[in-house]
């Protein structure tokens, strides 16, 4: 029998993306944390567990030695929704195979990869189940497989799911592993699980393969947050769930008390957290139980950090597609859910007039904070809309109906944080596997045209409404350079991509003020902008300044005050609100 205390284990994270679980940097999924915890619970020493990401292996070839020499190699990965990623590149099937070939010890593969492997992580594709040359593939929970495998002396395991007691223990025990993540501690966000499974059965979705929802009690999640905080984590997303509003209830109806306990408890054990966001909310829960839902949404908005998004899976506004794919919410219901979230949580920090219970469906609608007097921060919580194409029954009108829905939201003056349109990936075990990607392939051109219309007609003006010029985005992490600009994002759920003029040092974090809008990204300048040091590009980027005034501002430096700069560049009679972007730093401070 192998003594677990003598075992060395290497965990390789190839990243995951599931309908209700994200783990591409800067996110770390629950899989490596729970697997590390399960190994420790089985008797493996924490010091004998090494954690690498696939990007780490690519960047540091010496890390392959840990793959080679470990007694047990655990690979975690799998993408069951299509996506493009900025923060990391998910493992390719060939790389995963190479990991299996390199491992000299026992090799175990698990995570959503068990649902299937596609040639590419993009819409309009089909997948097949593959073992990619690993000794063992976990067809149940990989963390349970890791635990049982160690217990059996690396002989084998029965495929099973873990229970709530186990996840509570493993989540806490495995929190230490985040310290090995290349993004730790400052640019790392931990995905938190509150439940798995779903009460509904949409044809394309892998989440029902986890069964009906089972919830982790608040104390289990809170203890995990406390453990992660002790290991330096300051950013969290409650993203591993199909519907945050259903948390702690009967599986469908909201339970505001459970939400209060969860969010309040997290704030208590991690008082200095910097990000607390969520991911999924089912619009049908909002409209079926409006009063409990309103209370739940208010609780979230009181405890979260600004810029939070509740992703609504409308999936299709076409009743034919809805019926053929067992979708659970109609366009009218989704519209009402959008209104409710706007009313209860669309306020911006500092706008106390709109904070608190909205007047309800019969009274005046308070709506979100908009207009020139609105505070210059992102709203607390806004809905996002997910639309999937290539589903059964899709026709040309489907595209029109989806656009009509989005136009109605815009014309009503409501806010959406983002619209996510994608083509379906067909997975074995889901109903869509019979249809596969054939409809998506047939409609590829239609989809392309429609996507452009959504970007131009909806995304761009909506973004301007959500983040008007002057909106301050604190702590933008600078990630890469392109075309003479620096690009960065805040940590959080669906963060805005921010382009800043000039090439700034990467890896740093700065506050930014929005000056312009693309379809899904914004241009910003460092906030506040020091008029005695700003570049021509930065000054010109401020709306209304233009090249000549920017030149005047540069030539007449230094200034003693913003007003002095204002006068020198003859901007007293323009609409440029320079004061809301700019500052003057003394020469001493700049040095």
For 584: left if phi > 0, alpha if psi spans -120 to 50, otherwise beta; the answer is: beta
**How many other CB atoms are found less than 10 A from the CB of residue 152?**
14
Query: Quick one: 314 or 414, whose CB is closer to ligand SF4?
Result: 314
Q: Which residues contact 45 (CB under 8 A, 6 or more apart)?
A: 5
Nearest approach in angstroms of CB 279 to ligand SF4 is 11
Among all chains, which residue has been given the structure tokens 């069951």? 80
Instruction: Provide the minimum distance between the beta carbon of 204 and ligand SF4 in the complex, in angstroms, as a whole number.
Output: 7
Q: What distance in Å separates the CA atoms of residue 582 and residue 579, rounded to the nearest whole number?
A: 5
Of residues 310 and 472, the one with the C-beta less far from ligand SF4: 310
Minimum Å distance from CB 447 to ligand SF4?
19
For the bound state, the minimum distance from the C-beta of residue 286 to ligand SF4, rounded and expressed in Å, comes to: 13
> Which is closer to ligand SF4, CB of 103 or CB of 198?
198
429: left (phi over 0), alpha (psi -120 to 50) or beta: left
DSSP string over 55-114: HHHHH-GGGHHHHHH-SEEEEEEEE-S----SS--PPPHHHHHHHHHH--SEEEEESGGG
The C-alpha atoms of residue 369 and residue 17 are separated, in whole angstroms, by 33
Closer to ligand SF4 by CB, 11 or 311: give it: 311
Q: Which residues, 6+ apart, have CB-to-CB distance to 92 below 8 Å?
A: none
Q: How far is the CB of 196 from ligand SF4 (least distance, A)?
A: 10
Return the number of the residue (170 or 427) whose C-beta is nearest ligand SF4.
427
Which positions touch ligand SF4 (CB under 6 A)? 19-20, 198, 200-202, 205, 207-208, 242, 282, 313, 328
Question: In the complex with ligand SF4, which residue's Cβ is closer, 336 or 479?
Answer: 336
Asked if 485 contacts 502 with a C-beta cutoff of 8 angstroms, the reply is: yes
Kindly tell me which of 95 and 252 has the beta carbon lying closer to ligand SF4.
Answer: 252
Grouping H, G, I as helix, E, B as strand and the rest as coil, residue 375 is: coil
Residue 19 or residue 239: which is nearer to ligand SF4 going by CB? 19
Task: Report the nearest approach of ligand SF4 to the CB of residue 351 (Å).
Answer: 31
What span, in angstroms and rounded, lies between the C-alpha atoms of 277 and 300? 9
Provide the CB-side half-sphere exposure for 478 (13 A, CA): 20
Q: Compute the residue count for the chain.
A: 591
Tell me the closest approach of the beta carbon of residue 314 to ligand SF4, in angstroms. Answer: 10
Closest separation in Å from C-beta 199 to ligand SF4:
7
């Amino acid at each position: 029998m192998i003594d677990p205390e003598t075992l060395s284990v290497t965990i390789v994270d190839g990243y995951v993306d599931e309908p209700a679980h994200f783990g591409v940097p800067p996110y770390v999924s629950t899989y490596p944390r729970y697997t590390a915890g399960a190994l420790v619970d089985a008797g493996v020493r924490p010091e004998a567990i090494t954690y690498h990401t696939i990007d780490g292996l690519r960047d540091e070839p010496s890390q392959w030695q840990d793959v080679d020499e470990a007694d047990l190699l655990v690979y975690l990965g799998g993408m069951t929704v299509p996506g493009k990623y900025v923060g990391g590149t998910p493992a390719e099937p060939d790389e995963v195979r190479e990991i299996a070939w390199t491992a000299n010890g026992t090799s175990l593969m698990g995570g959503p990869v068990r649902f299937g492997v596609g040639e590419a992580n993009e819409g309009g594709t089909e997948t097949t189940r593959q073992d990619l040359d690993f000794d063992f593939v976990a067809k149940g929970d990989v963390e349970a497989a890791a635990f049982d495998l160690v217990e059996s002396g690396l002989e084998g395991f029965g495929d099973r799911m873990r229970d709530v007691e186990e996840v509570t223990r493993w989540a806490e025990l495995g929190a230490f592993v985040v310290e090995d993540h290349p993004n730790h501690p400052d640019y790392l966000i931990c995905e938190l699980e509150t439940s798995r499974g779903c009460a509904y059965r949409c044809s394309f979705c892998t989440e029902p393969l986890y069964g009906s929802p089972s919830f982790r009690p608040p104390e289990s999640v809170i203890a995990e947050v406390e453990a992660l905080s002790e290991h330096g984590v300051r950013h969290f997303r409650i993203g591993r769930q199909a519907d945050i509003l259903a948390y702690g209830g009967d599986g469908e109806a909201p339970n505001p008390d459970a939400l209060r306990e969860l969010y309040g408890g997290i704030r208590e054990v991690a008082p200095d957290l910097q990000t607390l966001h969520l991911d999924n909310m089912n619009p049908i829960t909002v409209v079926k139980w409006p009063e409990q839902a309103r209370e739940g949404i208010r609780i979230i908005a009181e405890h979260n950090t600004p810029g939070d998004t509740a992703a609504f899976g409308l999936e299709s506004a076409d009743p034919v597609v809805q019926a053929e794919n067992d979708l659970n919410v109609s366009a009218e219901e989704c519209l009402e859910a959008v209104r409710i979230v706007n009313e209860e949580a669309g306020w911006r920090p500092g706008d106390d007039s709109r904070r608190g219970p909205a007047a309800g469906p019969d009274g005046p609608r308070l709506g979100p904070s908009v207009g020139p007097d609105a505070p210059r921060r992102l709203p607390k919580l806004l809905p996002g809309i997910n639309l999937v194409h290539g589903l059964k029954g899709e026709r040309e009108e489907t595209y029109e109906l989806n656009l009509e829905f989005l136009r109605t939201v815009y014309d009503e003056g409501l806010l959406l944080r983002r619209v996510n349109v994608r083509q379906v990936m067909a997975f074995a075990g889901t109903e869509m596997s019979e249809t596969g990607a054939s409809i998506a392939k047939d409609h590829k051109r239609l989809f392309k045209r429609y996507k452009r219309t959504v970007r131009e007609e909806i995304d761009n003006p909506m973004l301007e409404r959500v983040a008007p010029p002057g909106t301050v985005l604190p702590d933008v992490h600078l990630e890469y350079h392109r075309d003479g600009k620096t690009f960065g994002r805040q940590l959080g759920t669906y963060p805005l991509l921010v382009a800043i003029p000039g090439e700034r040092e990467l890896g740093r974090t700065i506050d930014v003020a929005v000056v312009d809008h693309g379809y899904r990204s914004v241009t910003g300048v460092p906030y506040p902008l020091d008029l005695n040091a700003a570049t021509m590009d930065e000054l010109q980027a401020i709306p209304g300044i233009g090249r000549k005034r920017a030149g005047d501002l540069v030539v007449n430096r230094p200034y003693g005050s913003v007003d002095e700069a204002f006068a020198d560049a003859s901007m007293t009679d323009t609409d440029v609100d320079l004061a809301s972007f700019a500052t003057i730093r003394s020469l001493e401070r700049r040095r």
